[in-house]
Amino acid sequence: MARTVWDSTVGKKAVMAVSGLIMLLYLVVHMIGNLKIFFGTEEFNHYAHWLRTVGEPFMHYEWTLWVVRVVLVVAVVAHATSAYQLSRRDIKARPTPYAHRRRRAGYATRTMRWGGVILGLFIVWHILDLTTGTVHAGGFESGKPYQNVVDTFSTWYGNTVYIVAMLALGLHIQHGFWSAAQTLGAGSRSRDRALKTVANVLALLLTAGFIAVPVGVMTGVVS
Amino acid sequence: MTSYADYTTGAPVVDAKAPEGPINERWDKRRFEAKLVNPANRRKHTVIVVGTGLAGGSAGATLAEQGYHVVQFCYQDSPRRAHSIAAQGGINAAKNYRNDGDSVHRLFYDTVKGGDFRARESNVHRLAQISVEIIDQCVAQGVPFAREYGGLLDTRSFGGVQVSRTFYARGQTGQQLLLGAYQALSRQVAAGNIELHPRTEMLDVIVVDGRARGIVARDLITGRIDTYYADAVVLASGGYGNVFYLSTNAMNSNATAVWRAHRRGAYFANPCFTQIHPTCIPRTGDHQSKLTLMSESLRNDGRIWVPRAKGDDRPPNRIPEDERDYYLERIYPSFGNLVPRDIASRAAKNVCDEGRGVGPGGQGVYLDFADAIQRMGREAVEAKYGNLFDMYQRITDEDPYEVPMRIYPAVHYTMGGLWVDYDLQTTVPGLFAIGEANFSDHGANRLGASALMQGLADGYFVLPATINDYLARNPHKDEVGDDHPVVQEVLAETQDRLNLLLSVDGDRTPDSFHRELGELMWEFCGMARTDSGLRKALERIPQIREEFWRRIKVPGTGEEFNQSLEKANRIVDYLELAELMCLDALHRSESCGGHFREESQTPDGEAARKDEEFSYAAAWEFTGTGEAPVLHKEDLVFEYVHPTQRSYA
Amino acid sequence: MRLTLRVWRQKNAAAEGAMSTYEVDGISPDMSFLEMLDTLNEELILKGEDPVAFDHDCREGICGACSLVINGDAHGPERTTTCQLHMRSFRDGDTIDIEPWRASAFPVVKDLVVDRSAFDRIIQAGGYITAPTGAAPEAHATPVPKADADFAFEHAECIGCGACVAACPNGAAMLFTSAKVNHLNVLPQGAPERETRVLDMVGQMDAEGFGGCTLTGECATACPKGIPLMSITSMNKEWLRAARKAGKR
C-alpha cells in the first residue's frame, strides 16, 4: 500500500495532507505554550523544562521530546519531499505559459510553494536560533528560554524574520488546512463553509498567537 | 444526350432476408436461421466499423465482445464526440412501466404510422421488440437515466404518441447513451480487441469480386492515405443533412462514406426523405454556420404567431392582440400548436413566404410564452423550460420571459440512406449500414426519440446477430493487398481527387460552394417541393459542380492537417448526392411524411399520399456522376398496420 | 465590429509556434466566436494564406471538440463552451488573444488544435462498467435512489473538452477523471469495479503526464458544464478507500 500511495499524485498529496496536519497540531500546542511567556520568566522556563520531563517516570528525561522531534522531522521531510516532487511534476505538466496571462486563484493558493520554502528556511533559522543557539543574538543559555526569546526579539531582523514567517504560515494554513481536508476526502458541499471557517480561524489564531510574542517584547510587555 | 432526370427503372429490389410468418416471430426465426461463427474462429475475422456514434460505437463494442477483431474509425479526435451526443429528448422503449397500455405492438404501430407508411413492417417490429433490451443494456452500463424518488426509471411522453414511453437523462439523453457506448468501446480498446483510428476519415470502400473487403482512409493529421482490409465493412457514418449547409447536424458530419459506398454499388434509398424540425433558433445573418434545435416540448405551452400585416416591423409586444395571427390555432383548431413536426414546419414557411416572417431576414415566427406565464406564473414556466430559455438567451441575447422567442424550421435528420435488407446489409455483399446511415426504420418521417432507439438497436443487437451469417457463409477468400489492381485503382482515384482539389487554385472557398448548394436545396428540396422547383435545382446543381471544379480554392497540401481540404472533399460528394435527392423528390410526386409535394395535397392543404403509386422504397443505383441513375423499387407490404390518411384539422 | 486577433500559429507538432496578428472587420455581435474565426479563415483562404486550424463540431456546446483559450481563459469570458460564446461578449476595437489548450499531455497538433487522446486512455483504463451486450438484467431489478442518480448525472455531464486541464496551472486532469469516477462509482452497477476503477484511472492519469492537484479551483471555474470542485474531493476519498482495501488484500 505504501508503494501505491507514494507512486500516485493523489497518494502523495495525501502524504502532504497528513504530514501537514501533524505539523499543524504541533503548532497549536506550540503556540499555546509560547503564550505562557506573558505569565513571566518563571512560569515560562518551568514550562520549557516540563516539556523535557513529560511522561516521566515511564519515559526517560527528554525521551518524549525526542519522540515528538522525530515525528516532526519525519513530517517535515515527507511534506517537503512530496511537495518538491509534486511541484516538479506540475511544472513539467504545463511547460508553456499562456501569452495572455491572467491573475488567477487566491493569494494563499498561489503562494503555497514559495510560502512553504520560506517556512522551511524559517524552521532552520528558528532551530539554530532558539534550540541550538548557533545563530542566537546575544549569549544563548540553554535552560533559560525566556531570556533567549527576549534576546531574539530585541533585534530588528529577529522580529522581521519571525513576523514575515508567521504571516506566511497563516496563508499556508489558510489554504493548506482546507486543501488537506479535500485531499483526504473529508470535504463535502455541506461541510465546505465550516471547513473554510475553521481554516481561516486556525490561520488567524496561530498567526496572531505567534506574533503576540515578538509584539510583546517590542512593546515591553515582555522583557 | 440523356439528362440526369431521365432515370430508368430496373428490376425490383427484394429483401431476401426477412423471414415469413407472424411478425412477432420473425426476428427469432432470423436469429435461429442465421449461421454462427465458431467463437474460436471469430478472432480471425476482421470487421471495419466506420463511425463511433450510437450505432457504430455500440456495434464496435459488441462485435469486439463477441471476439471479432474490430478496426474502427472516426473523423473526430475522440470517439466520444460523434454527433449522437447532441440528441436531447430521449429514447423510446415499450417497457410499459407506466401500465398505460403500451406494448411492443403499439410502439411498432406508432412508428409505422408516424413514418407515413413508408417503412418496412418487419424491421419496425424488430425495432420495437429490441427497444426493451436497450434500456436494460444502458442501465447496466451506468447510463444515468432520470429516476423517480422510489429509485425507478422515469419516463415522459413525446410528440405524436399517447403513452409515456420515453426514457431520458434531462436534456442530454443522446450524450449519456453515447458515453455508455463509448465506454463499452473503450473497454474493448483497452482489451486490445478494437484497433481505434480517431481523426481518420474514410474516403472510399474497396470492393473486390463483388464483396466489400476494406476501405481507404486518410489520417487527418498527417494526410497519409492508407488502406485497411477486413472481412466485412460496417458504415455507421450518420445522416446527410449537411447537404443543406445549415442544419442541426455537427459541422463535420458528412455523407462521404455513404456516398462513396453508393458509387461502389450500394443502392441509396429514399434520399429525399429529410426531417425538418419546426423549433430551431432562426439564423441571424449570412455568417450563420449551423442551426440549434430547441426542444419540441416548448410547443406544449408556447403559442405560435406572426403579425397579420406584411412587413409589420413593430416590436412584438407593441403588436396588439387583434393584429396577430395565431396561424396554427386558426388553421388546425383541434390540434393547434401541437400539430406534427412536418405540418408545423410547413405552416411556418408559408407565413414567412407571405412576407409575414419576423426577425432578421423575415425568417422566423414568434413562440410566445406570455399567456403561459400569466396562466402558470413565471416560476412554473421557469421550472419547466428554464434550461431551454437560458440556452435561447445565450444564443440570441433576448430574454424569452419578456420578448417572444423566435423560431424557424431547420433540417434535422435524414430518414433516407443506404438501402439495407433485414440483415442491415447493403446491396454490396459484406457492406453493412447501421443507424442514420441506412434507410430502414423510419419511413418518410421519424418520430421523436426514435433515432436513439434505432441506432442502438442496430449496433447492440441487430448487426452483431446478422453479420455472423455473412461471415460464416463467406469464409476467407484470397487475401487482398495494396498490389491488387482494384485497390490500386481506388487509391489512385482517391489521390487524384485530392490532388485535383488542391491544384485548381481558383477564387472561391469551399464554404462558399457549400452555402450556395445549401441555399438551393433549402429553396427547392426543403419543406415544400414542386416539380418545377426540383427541375430548376436539377439544372443548377451540375452547373455549380462544374463551377466548383473550375473555381475552388484549397490552400495548403494534402500531406498535412488541412481542414479546407477535408471540407472541399466532402462538398464533392454533396454536389452529387444533392442531385439524387432532387431526383428522388421529383420522381415521388406524392406527399408523405417529411416529403411534401405541393402538387399532392388535400383541399385543406394537407399532405396527400398516393399509396397505389408510391407504396415502395426507392432504391437508386449509381451509374456515373451526372448520369441518370437506375431506380429499383422495393414494394412495401402492410399486413399489420393498414395505411390511413392523416388529418389534424 | 472591428477586432484585432492575436492567434497562436504552429504549422505542426514539431514546428515552433508564435502569435500572429490579424485584423477582422464587419463582425456582428450575434456571431458566435467560431463564426468570427470562420470569417477570418474565409479571408485567409482567398488571400492564399493558411487558414487557422481549430477543433469544432457540434457547435451547440455538447460534443466537447472546441477548445480555445481566449484572453487567458479556457473557453473565454463566459461560463460556456467556445462555440456558444458570442461576439457580444466583446467590444468593438478589442484585441483578443487566442491560444490552444496548454499542457504537456495535450501536445499541439496544429495552430489551435491539440491532441487530447490522453483523455481516451484514462477512460480506457477503467472509465466503464463491464456489461457485455446481452448480459444485462431487467432495468428495474436494481432501483437507484434519486439522489445517487442525480449525483451520477451531474458528473456524467462532463463533455471531455479539457478546459479543466487548460485552466489548471499544473495541467492536472483531476476534474475530468473524478467526474467519470464519481459518475460510475456511486451507481450500484458500478460497485463491483469501484476500487480498480479509481486506482487504474488515476494511475493512467499520472502516466499521461498530467500534473497534480493543488486545489486552486481553476478547473471548476472553467468547466462549461459546472462539474464542481468537490468532485475531486469525492474521488480522493474513493482513491484512499481503494488504496486501503488494496493494501489489505
Task: Give this complex's ipTM.
Answer: 0.98
Look at B156-160, B248-252, B283-287, B461-465 and tell me which has the smallest mean pLDDT: B156-160
Q: Which residues in B lie closer than 8 A to residue C197 (C-beta atoms)?
A: none
pLDDT tens figures, B133-159: 999 999 999 999 999 999 999 998 876
Share of chain A residues as helix, strand and coil, in percent rounded to the nearest 5: 75, 0, 25
- Name the residue in chain B with its Cα closest to that of C84: B395
pLDDT given for residue B387 in this prediction: 78
In this complex, which of C73, C102, C236 lies closest to A94 when CB atoms are compared? C102
Cis (ω within 30 of 0) for the bond into A57? yes
| Amino acid, single-letter form, for residue B288 | Q
Closest chain B C-alpha to C105 CA, distance in angstroms? 15
How many A-C residue pairs are in contact by the CB < 8 A criterion?
140
Closest CB from B189, B289, B556 relative to C35: B289
pLDDT confidence tier of residue B224, bands split at 50, 70 and 90: very high
> Are B186 and C120 an interchain contact pair (Cβ–Cβ within 8 Å)?
yes
Q: What is the distance between the alpha carbons of residues C131 and C64, in angstroms, rounded to a whole number?
A: 26
Nearest CB neighbour to A185, from listed C105, C214, C237: C237
- SS3 for B453-475, per residue? HHHHHHHHHHHHHHHHHHHHHCC
In the stretch 146-185 of chain C, residues with CB closer than 8 A to chain B read 146, 149, 152-153, 156-157, 159-160, 183-184
* Class level of CATH domain B277-412: alpha beta
Assign B382 a pLDDT band (cuts: 50, 70, 90): confident
Alpha-carbon distance values, B443 to A48, B103, B607 (Å): 90, 21, 15
In this predicted model, which residue has the larger pLDDT, B607 or B551? B551
What is the pLDDT, as a whole number, of residue A103? 66
- What is the 3-class SS of chain C, one letter each residue? CCEEEEEEEECCCCCCEEEEEEEECCCCCCCEHHHHHHHHHHHHHHCCCCCCCCCCCCCCCCCCCCCCEECCEECCCCCCCHHHCEHHHCCCCCEEEEECCCCCCCCEEECCEECCHHHHHHHHCCCCCCCCCCCCCCHHHCCCCHHHHHHHHHHHCCCCCCHHHHHCCCCECHHHHHHHHHHHHCCHHHHHHHHHHHHHHHHHHHHCCCECCCCCCHHHHHCCCCCCCHHHHHHHHHHHHHHHHHHHC
Structural domain boundaries in chain B: 277-412, 485-614
- Across the interface, which of B95, B284, B561 has its CB nearest the CB of C30? B284
Q: pLDDT band at residue C247, thresholds of 50, 70 and 90?
A: confident
Grid coordinates belonging to B562: 488541412
pLDDT of C106 strictly over 90: yes
**Subunit contact C102:A192, Cβ cutoff 8 A:** no
List beta partners, residue B206: B214
What is the torsional sign of CA B498, B500, B503, B505? negative
State the Cα–Cα distance between residues A122 and A99, nearest whole angstrom.
35
> Are the beta carbons of B150 and C88 separated by less than 8 Å?
no
The answer to whether the Cβ–Cβ distance between A95 and C206 falls below 8 Å is no
User: Which CATH number is associated with domain B485-614?
Assistant: 1.20.58.100
Closest alpha carbon within chain C to B178: C63
Q: How far is C18 from chain A (nearest CA, A)?
A: 10
**Chain C: closest CA distance from residue A77 (Å):** 19
Q: Provide the phi-psi class of B313: left if phi over 0, else alpha when psi is between -120 and 50, else beta.
A: alpha
Residue of C nearest to B169 (CA): C153
pLDDT reported for residue B442: 95
The mean pLDDT value for C112-138 works out to 97
Question: What is the CATH T-level fold of the domain C116-248, as seen in this structure?
Answer: Fumarate Reductase Iron-sulfur Protein; Chain B, domain 2 (1.10.1060)
Whether the per-residue pLDDT at B1 is higher than 60: the answer is no
* Least confidently predicted of B367-381, B447-461, B634-648: B634-648
CB atoms within 10 A of CB B286: 9
Cβ atoms within 10 Å, residue B555 = 19
Query: Measured between CB atoms, does A178 come within 8 Å of chain C?
Result: yes
Selection from C62, C54, C81, C57 nearest residue C159 by Cα: C62
* Chain B residues 237-266 with a CB less than 8 Å from chain C: 248, 250-253
Are B274 and B241 in contact, with CB atoms under 8 Å apart?
yes
Residue B648 pLDDT class (50, 70, 90 cuts): low
Tell me which chain C residue has its CA closest to the CA of residue A106.
C216
- Say yes or no to pLDDT of B415 above 90: yes
In the structure, do chain A and chain B come into contact, i.e. share 3 or more CB pairs under 8 Å?
A: no
Q: Which residues of A touch C6 (CB under 8 A)?
A: 99
Q: Which residues of C touch A102 (CB under 8 A)?
A: 71-73
CB contact under 8 A, B460 and C133: yes
Q: What is the pLDDT along chain A (223 residues), one digit of tens a residue?
A: 788 899 999 999 999 999 999 999 999 999 999 999 999 999 999 999 999 999 999 999 999 999 999 999 999 999 999 999 999 999 999 999 999 987 667 788 888 999 999 999 999 999 999 999 999 988 899 889 999 999 999 999 999 999 999 999 999 999 999 999 999 999 998 999 999 999 999 999 999 999 999 999 999 998 8
Q: What residue spans define the domains of chain A? A: 2-91+105-219
Strands B69-73 and B194-197: parallel
Provide the 3-class DSSP secondary structure of residue A30: helix
C214:A5 CB<8 A: no
Cell of A23: 505539523
Instruction: Name residue B269's beta-bridge partners.
Output: B417, B619
Query: Quick check: A34 and A152 in contact, CB under 8 A?
Result: no
Chain C residues within 8 A of A1 when measuring between CB atoms: 243-244, 246-247
User: What's the whole-number mean pLDDT along residues C231-241?
Assistant: 97
What confidence score (pLDDT) does residue B606 get? 80
User: In a mutagenesis test of the C interface, which of A12, A89, A100 is the best target, namely the one with the most C β-carbons within 10 Å?
Assistant: A100
Q: Is it true that domain C3-110 has CATH number 3.10.20.30?
A: yes
Is B341 a catalytic site residue? Answer: yes
Contact with chain B for residue C187, Cβ under 8 A? yes
CA distances B518 to B245, B390, B514, B540, B577, Å, are: 5, 29, 6, 12, 12
Report the gap between the CA of B442 and the closest CA in chain C (Å): 24
Task: CATH 3.10.20.30 in chain C: give the residue spans.
Answer: 3-110
Q: Bridge partners of B218? A: B201, B225
Phi, psi of B196 (to 5 degrees): -100, 135
| Conformation bin of residue B151: beta by default, left when phi > 0, alpha when psi is -120 to 50 | left
Long-range CB contacts for residues B523-528, cutoff 8 Å, separation at least 24: B524/B582, B525/B272, B525/B274, B525/B578, B525/B581, B525/B582, B525/B585, B526/B244, B526/B276, B526/B349, B526/B411, B527/B276, B527/B345, B527/B346, B527/B349, B527/B409, B527/B596, B528/B346, B528/B349, B528/B596, B528/B597, B528/B598
Chain C residues within 8 A of B79 when measuring between CB atoms: 120
Q: How confident is the model at residue B647 (pLDDT cuts 50, 70, 90)?
A: low
Contacts of residue C184, Cβ cutoff 8 Å, sequence gap at least 6:
B142, C127, C128, C129, C152, C190, C193, C197
Q: Measured between CB atoms, which of B62, B187, B251 is closest to C56? A: B251
The Cβ of residue B645 has, within 10 Å, a number of other Cβ atoms equal to 12
User: Which residues in C lie closer than 8 A to residue A110 (C-beta atoms)?
Assistant: 216
- From CA B449, how far away is CA B89, in angstroms rounded? 6
A98 contact residues in C (CB cutoff 8 A): 69, 72, 97, 99, 102
Place of cell 511522561: A55
Residues of B in contact with C200 (CB under 8 A): none
Nearest 5°: CA angle at B442, between B157 and B230? 120
Buried b (16+ CB within 10 A) or exposed e, B37-59: beeeebeebbbbbbbbbbbbbbb
How many residues does this entry show for chain C?
A: 249
Average pLDDT in the B571-578 region? 98
CB distance from A99 to chain C under 8 Å?
yes
Digit-coded pLDDT (tens) for C132-182: 999 999 999 999 999 999 999 999 999 999 999 999 999 999 999 999 999
Choose the catalytic residue: B341, B406, B570, B588: B341
pTM score = 0.96
Write out chain C residues lying below 8 Å of A183, CB-based: 213, 215, 233, 236
- Closest chain B CA to residue C111: B561
Identity of the residue in C103, C217, C243 whose CB atom sits nearest the CB atom of A5: C243
Task: Tell me how far apart the alpha carbons of residues B332 and B144 are, in angstroms, rounded to a whole number.
Answer: 39
Alpha carbon distances (Å) from A3 to A12, A66, C178, C235: 10, 28, 22, 19
Question: What's the topology of domain A2-91+105-219?
Answer: 3 helical TM bundles of succinate and fumarate reductases (1.20.1300)
CA distance, residue C247 to nearest chain B CA (Å): 25
Q: What is the pLDDT of residue B160?
A: 63
Domain with CATH 1.10.1060.10 in chain C: 116-248
Looking at residue A108, what is its pLDDT? 83
CB contact under 8 A, A1 and C73: no
What does DSSP assign to residue B430?
T
Q: What is the pLDDT of residue A2?
A: 84
Contacts of A187 in chain C (CB under 8 A): 230, 233
Residue A90 sits at the chain C interface (C-beta within 8 Å): yes
Query: What average pLDDT does the segment B274-286 reach?
Result: 91
Following DSSP, what letter does each residue of A125-155 receive, concatenated? HHHHHHTS-TT-SS---TT-HHHHHHHHTTS
CB–CB contact B287 C38 (8 Å): yes
User: How far apart are the CA of C245 and the nearest CA of chain B, in angstroms?
Assistant: 23
For residue A97, list chain C residues with Cβ-Cβ distance below 8 A. Answer: 102
Average pLDDT, whole number, for chain B?
A: 94
How far is residue B189's CA from residue B179's CA, in Å, rounded to a whole number?
A: 15
Per-residue pLDDT tens digits for B469-490: 999 998 876 789 999 999 999 9
**Chain-chain contact of C69 with A101 (C-beta, under 8 angstroms):** no
- The number of C-beta contacts closer than 8 angstroms across B and C is 221
Q: Does C196 reach chain B within 8 Å, measured CB to CB?
A: no
